[in-house]
Amino acid sequence: MENNMYVVAMPYPNHADLPDILEEESGKVMYFKNKQDAEIFIQELYDEKGIPLKAFRDDAIELLRVQ
Range of the domain at 55: 5-66
* Neighbouring-strand partners of residue 9: 21, 62
Helix (H) or strand (E) holding 35: helix 35-49
Question: Is 7 in contact with 30 (CB distance < 8 Å)?
Answer: yes
Assign 1 a pLDDT band (cuts: 50, 70, 90).
very low
pLDDT of 23-65, one tens digit each?
A: 999 999 999 999 999 999 999 999 999 999 999 999 888 998 9
* Neighbouring-strand partners of residue 7: 64
Q: What pLDDT was estimated at residue 11?
A: 80
pTM across the whole model: 0.79
Q: What pLDDT was estimated at residue 26?
A: 95
What is the number of domains present in the chain? 1
Q: What pLDDT was estimated at residue 8?
A: 93
